[in-house]
């Protein structure tokens, strides 16, 4: 059967229970089979050396004063993603904004900036109405594995490279629809398990290969019930 994207967005509701909402259009009432998701967690412990790197990977060079310019581009070399970055924030309705251009990656400048101590948060579309899903920056986010790299480029050409350390699929609520843990955006952003001095980025999109529910009736727009979250740590 033909499945058409309807509207895929990554909307975050303010507060600890912030959710990411996604919609697609499906022409009948048959729900897809949920593909199994492998979750790996190789997050370094608090006793590890900050910005620890794998053997053969050069350690990052300390910068006395981090570059405080704009975030320009976001790259995922494994998938040939090279997308412009929008600095987005909070809407008037107290929800976090989404990229205004569906081809872009959104960076929440209200939180940490890449290159500084902390956890920078990014989101992007997984698919979008009227556009090929493969054009969306985070369409294959769920395929990233431990050790894969992503790159954040600043407006002066400076690049920060991050190595993936964890992937987790979350449920949007605890209604029993899935067995995944419920997403808690406040805890993801605060990243209390981040080792002192480590620079993290958190990437979030809709889990479009997971379960969904119809917004109304047995056809038409549906809401994705899972969210995919990748965490990566700076290595250079």
- Chain segment 174-202, per-residue pLDDT in tens: 887 788 999 998 899 999 999 999 999 99
Q: What is the largest CA-CA distance in the chain?
A: 58
CA triplet 64, 198, 60: central angle to 5 degrees? Answer: 55
For the chain, the domains span: 64-125+132-205+226-234
Query: What was the pLDDT predicted at 12?
Result: 38
- Which ranges of the chain have pLDDT less than 50? 1-55, 63
Model pTM score = 0.73
**Confidence at residue 29, expressed as pLDDT on a 0 to 100 scale:** 38
Please say whether the beta carbons of 221 and 157 come within 8 A: no
Contact between 28 and 220 under an 8 Å Cβ cutoff? The reply is no
Cβ-proximal residues to 93 (8 Å cutoff; 6+ apart), any chain: none
> How many Cβ atoms from other residues are within 10 Å of residue 87's Cβ?
13
Which class is domain 64-125+132-205+226-234?
mainly beta
Residue 85's pLDDT is what? 98
């Amino acid at each position: 059967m033909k499945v058409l994207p309807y509207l895929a967005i990554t909307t975050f509701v303010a507060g600890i229970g912030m959710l990411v909402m996604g919609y697609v259009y499906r022409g009948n009432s048959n729900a897809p089979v949920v593909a199994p998701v492998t979750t790996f967690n190789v997050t370094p412990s608090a006793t590890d050396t900050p910005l620890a790197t794998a053997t053969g990977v050069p350690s990052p060079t300390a910068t006395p004063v981090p570059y405080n310019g704009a975030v320009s581009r976001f790259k995922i070399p494994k998938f040939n993603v090279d997308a412009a970055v929008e600095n987005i924030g909070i809407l008037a309705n107290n929800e976090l904004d989404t990229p205004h251009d569906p081809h872009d990656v959104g960076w929440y400048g209200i939180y940490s900036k890449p290159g500084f101590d902390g956890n920078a948060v990014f989101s992007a579309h997984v698919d979008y109405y009227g556009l090929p899903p493969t054009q969306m920056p985070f369409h294959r986010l769920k395929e990233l594995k431990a050790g894969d790299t992503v790159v954040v480029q600043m407006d002066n050409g400076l690049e920060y490279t991050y190595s993936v350390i964890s992937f987790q699929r979350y449920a949007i609520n605890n209604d029993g629809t899935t067995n995944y843990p419920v997403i808690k955006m406040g805890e993801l952003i605060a990243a209390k398990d981040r080792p002192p001095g480590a620079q993290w980025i958190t990437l979030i999109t809709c889990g479009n290969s997971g379960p969904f529910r119809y917004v109304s009736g047995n056809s038409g727009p549906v809401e994705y019930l899972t969210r995919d979250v990748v965490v990566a740590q700076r290595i250079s």
